[in-house]
C-alpha cells in the first residue's frame, strides 16, 4: 500500500517546507501534479520547481503530467528528479512513444485515464506499465468530489492484473478521503493519492497513518474516526 500526498493541496508559498513535512509524515510517495493550462484548465508548476524541491526529501517523486505535449517535458522532468512519470491515455497515438521514452529515461512508467475514458482502452498498454492511475475526478483542480462511477474501472484493472499475472500498481487520484480510500482499496487499488484530505488535516502525519489504517482494514465504516 502506498500513500501519496498531492502537493497541489500544499501551501504554494512554502512548497519546500510542505515537502519536508510530507517527508516526515510516513507517506511513501509525493504526488506532483503538472498542469499546462491546455490539457486541463489550470496551471500548476514546472520542472524548475520540482528540481528545487528534490533536495528537500528522499520521497519517491510521482510526476503526473496533465499536459498536451508531454513529449517536450519528459527529459526536463527526468532531470529534475522524477522517479515515475505518468502520461494520459487521452493523448491517443502519442501514448506508445511516450511510454517508450519514459522507460528509456530510466523512470517508472505510468498511464492515467480520465473518468469519461473507457477502461478497455488501456488494455494494449498494460504489460508496459509500472503504474495505472485511475482518475476519480476530472483533473484540473483539487478538492473535488469523488466520482463513484469510476470504481468498476479499479475492479477491472485489478482483475486483468491477476488474470495476466502483471505487476502494475493501481492508483486512485481525486476526492480520495478516508471513506473513499477504503472503498477504492476494496475495489483493488493500492496507491492512494490524496491532496485536500491530507494537507488540510491538523497533523499530516496522523492523517497519513489514519489513511493507512482504513486502507488496511478496507472498511469505510472506520472512516469517521477523526484525523
Ligand atoms: C486532480 C489532481 C489530483 C489532486 C487531488 O486534478 O490530479 O492529484 O491533487 O486532490 P484532492 O485529493 O484534493 O482531490
Ligand atoms: Zn494527480
Q: What percent of the chain has pLDDT over 90?
A: 96
| pTM of the complete model | 0.97
Q: Which has more pLDDT, 220 or 57?
A: 57
Whether ligand 1 lies within 6 angstroms of the CB of 174 is answered as yes
Query: For 51-60, 145-154, 199-208, 215-224, which range has the lowest pLDDT when averaged over its residues?
Result: 215-224
Percent helix / strand / coil, the chain, rounded to 5: 50, 20, 30
Whether ligand 1 lies within 6 angstroms of the CB of 112 is answered as no
pLDDT, tens digit, 9 for 90 and up, residues 10-43:
999 999 999 999 999 999 999 999 999 999 999 9
Whether ligand 1 lies within 6 angstroms of the CB of 5 is answered as no
Interval between CA 197 and ligand 1 midpoint (Å): 10
Ligand 1 closest atom vs CA 64: 7
C-alpha torsion sign, points 2, 113, 186, 151: positive
β-pairing, 84-88 with 29-35?
unpaired
Neighbour tally for 217: CB within 10 Å: 14
Whether ligand 1 lies within 6 angstroms of the CB of 139 is answered as yes
Range 173-192 average pLDDT? 98
Q: Which residues contact 153 (CB under 8 A, 6 or more apart)?
A: 113, 119, 134
Give the residue numbers annotated as catalytic, written as ranges.
33, 173
Ligand 1 closest atom vs CA 144: 14
* Angle between helix 178-187 and 151-163 (nearest 10): 40
C-alpha torsion sign, points 157, 75, 141, 190: positive
Per-residue model confidence (pLDDT) at position 219? 72
Ligand 1 closest atom vs CA 139: 6
Q: Which residues contact 91 (CB under 8 A, 6 or more apart)?
A: 68, 70, 98
Per-residue model confidence (pLDDT) at position 226? 58
Interval between CA 132 and ligand 2 midpoint (Å): 12
Interval between CA 163 and ligand 1 midpoint (Å): 30
Whether ligand 1 lies within 6 angstroms of the CB of 144 is answered as yes
Per-residue model confidence (pLDDT) at position 46? 98
For the cut 80, the answer to whether the pLDDT of residue 221 exceeds it is no
For the cut 60, the answer to whether the pLDDT of residue 106 exceeds it is yes
Q: Which ligand is nearest to the CA of 131?
A: 2
Per-residue model confidence (pLDDT) at position 227? 57
How far apart CA 136 and CA 148 sit, in angstroms, is 8
Amino acid at each position: 500500500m502506498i500513500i501519496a500526498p498531492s502537493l497541489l493541496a500544499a501551501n504554494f508559498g512554502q512548497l519546500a517546507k510542505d515537502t519536508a513535512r510530507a517527508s516526515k509524515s510516513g507517506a511513501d510517495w509525493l504526488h506532483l501534479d503538472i498542469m499546462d493550462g491546455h490539457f486541463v484548465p489550470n496551471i500548476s508548476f514546472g520542472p524548475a520547481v520540482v528540481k528545487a524541491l528534490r533536495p528537500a526529501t528522499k520521497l519517491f517523486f510521482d510526476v503526473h503530467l496533465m499536459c498536451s505535449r508531454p513529449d517536450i517535458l519528459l527529459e526536463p522532468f527526468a532531470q529534475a528528479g522524477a522517479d515515475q512519470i505518468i502520461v494520459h491515455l487521452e493523448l491517443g497515438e502519442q501514448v506508445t512513444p511516450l511510454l517508450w521514452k519514459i522507460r528509456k529515461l530510466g523512470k517508472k512508467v505510468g498511464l492515467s485515464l480520465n473518468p469519461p475514458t473507457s477502461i478497455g482502452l488501456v488494455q494494449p498498454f498494460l504489460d508496459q506499465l509500472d503504474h495505472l492511475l485511475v482518475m476519480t475526478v476530472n483533473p484540473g483542480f483539487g478538492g473535488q468530489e469523488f466520482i463513484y462511477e469510476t470504481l468498476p474501472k479499479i475492479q477491472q484493472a485489478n482483475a486483468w492484473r491477476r488474470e495476466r499475472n502483471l505487476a502494475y500498481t493501481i492508483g486512485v487520484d481525486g476526492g480520495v478521503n478516508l471513506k473513499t480510500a477504503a472503498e477504492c482499496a476494496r475495489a483493488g487499488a493500492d496507491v492512494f493519492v490524496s491532496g485536500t484530505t491530507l494537507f488540510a488535516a491538523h497533523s499530516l502525519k496522523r492523517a497519513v497513518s489514519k489513511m493507512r489504517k482504513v486502507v488496511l482494514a478496507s472498511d469505510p465504516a472506520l472512516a469517521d474516526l477523526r484525523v
